[in-house]
Chains A and B, each alone.
With several copies, the nearest count.
Chain A
Amino acid sequence: METHKAKRVAIIIEAPMERRLSDALISAGVTGFSILPVLGGSGRSGKWSREGQVSRAGGMVQVVCIIRPERLDALLDAAFKVVENHIGVVTIGDCEVLRAERF
């Protein structure tokens, strides 16, 4: 089956920042992304877990974005402006996609 090269960007960020990040991605012309829940984790700022939490403050989400390689830089610039100062983790990986016309 024919596949096409693409980049997979995953950004783990505090839940209250989700809307800002989405808005920034959309303004940067990113055509699609998905938001995945994160249950808990650990990092330099300690351990956390969403269990029993009421406030959105105590959690993070993962924004996953599949994108054409040539558009990666625009995405990273947009994301970085939001993530800067924040505790998020940004990773970029290679992948292949079916139906490249979608990206």
Chain B
Amino acid sequence: MDGILALAAANLGSPIILSFALGLAASLARSELTVPEAVAKGMSIYLLFAIGFKGGAAVAANGLDAALIGALLAGAVLSFAIPFVAFGLLRVMTKLSTLDAAAVAAHYGSISIVTFVAATSVLNSQGIASEGYMVAVAAVMEAPAIVAALFLVSRTTGGSGRMDAELWREILLNGSIVLLVGSFAIGWITGEDGLAQISSFIISPFQGVLCLFLLDMGLVAGRGLRQARGVMTAPVFMFGLLMPLLGGSFGLVTGLLLGLSTGGVVLMTTLAASASYIAVPAAMRVALPEANPSIYLTLSLGVTFPFNLTLGIPIYVAVASALTGG
């Protein structure tokens, strides 16, 4: 417990969390501070490229762990399974419609790459190693949740499926998956050498870019919270705090069963606990246009993301360390 608190305190005092808090506070106070859309997208491309590349280079350096295939499969299963749990919980806890509940569920099965990056930062600062291929697991976990949610909708509403070939392509080739998998591959192929060539781009300034990106996420999250006051009932809000713990515990068990390192277990837990706010919302706009975006965006970005960033990750680190003896 003391460990968790110390870790949480250290975490809360880090520049990245404080940058997020600054953005959140600024937009709750209705400051006109904004980050241009193009700059926000540019930073997200940078972060995805850097994290993918470093993961690939780590795999090149350490050799391919036999567990890779297992971890990928497990990630896909988790991403597909978690929406069912989330959907059930939402139906019990809240009054959301089937469509809204399914849309929200899709977000929690999928992952938030920035939460993943934040967890990696914490691991680095604690000196805890993790498997480089967890980046690939993150990529694999982006999409299955969407399929699960659409399945839930068609089963409960009896409507015909809304998946067409075009949507499949869009989901599987969405920007973050392509960039993450692609840069992972490049990092793997070019290895140490490649990393040496571009490390002063993808490693040294990484934490700083992350600060500005989180500042922007704080701004967007705050704006969302302000505008979603109507739809965010207390039970919905509570779901946003409970679900990461529930999802995370599935991730934790999976990580332990796979025999991942302490860091790997933390990352698997974090992935399971995190909720998408880039790829899944865009897919929902296409596939479930009647679902209310305010609900899923605010839950994911305004509630669960800050929770994971501040309290979640330290908890996952503490628990994983205790259970793996790491």
**Cα(A15)–Cα(B283), bound, Å:** 11
**Cα(A38)–Cα(B187), bound, Å:** 37
Q: Interface residues, chain A, CB within 8 Å of chain B?
A: 14-17, 19-20, 45-58, 85-87
Most buried by B among A46, A51, A54: A54
B294 adjacent to chain A (CB < 8 Å): yes
Contact residues on B (Cβ < 8 Å of other chain), bracket: 20 to 34
B41 touching A54, Cβ below 8 Å = yes
**Cα(A81)–Cα(B78), bound, Å:** 35
B277 touching A55, Cβ below 8 Å = yes
B89 adjacent to chain A (CB < 8 Å): no
Contact with B36, one of A14, A16, A45, A51 (Cβ below 8 angstroms): A51
Shortest distance from the beta carbon of A33 to any chain B beta carbon, whole Å: 15
B97 adjacent to chain A (CB < 8 Å): no
Consensus secondary structure, chain B interface: helix
Q: Interface residues, chain B, CB within 8 Å of chain A?
A: 32, 34-37, 40-41, 44, 166, 170, 216-217, 219-220, 223, 227-228, 277-279, 281-286, 289-290, 292-294, 297
Q: Other than the known A16-B282, A45-B294, A51-B34, what 19 A-B pairs have Cβ atoms closer than 8 Å?
A: A14-B289, A15-B285, A16-B170, A16-B286, A46-B228, A46-B294, A47-B227, A52-B34, A52-B40, A52-B217, A54-B44, A55-B279, A55-B282, A57-B285, A58-B297, A85-B289, A85-B290, A86-B289, A87-B289
Q: What are some 11 contacts across the A-B interface (CB < 8 A)?
A: A19-B32, A20-B166, A51-B219, A52-B219, A53-B37, A54-B278, A55-B277, A55-B278, A57-B282, A85-B290, A86-B289
Residues on A with beta carbons closer than 8 Å to the beta carbon of B36: 51-52
Shortest distance from the beta carbon of A71 to any chain B beta carbon, whole Å: 23
B281 touching A57, Cβ below 8 Å = yes
Knowing A45-B293, A46-B228 are in contact, say whether A56-B282 is a contact too (CB < 8 A): yes
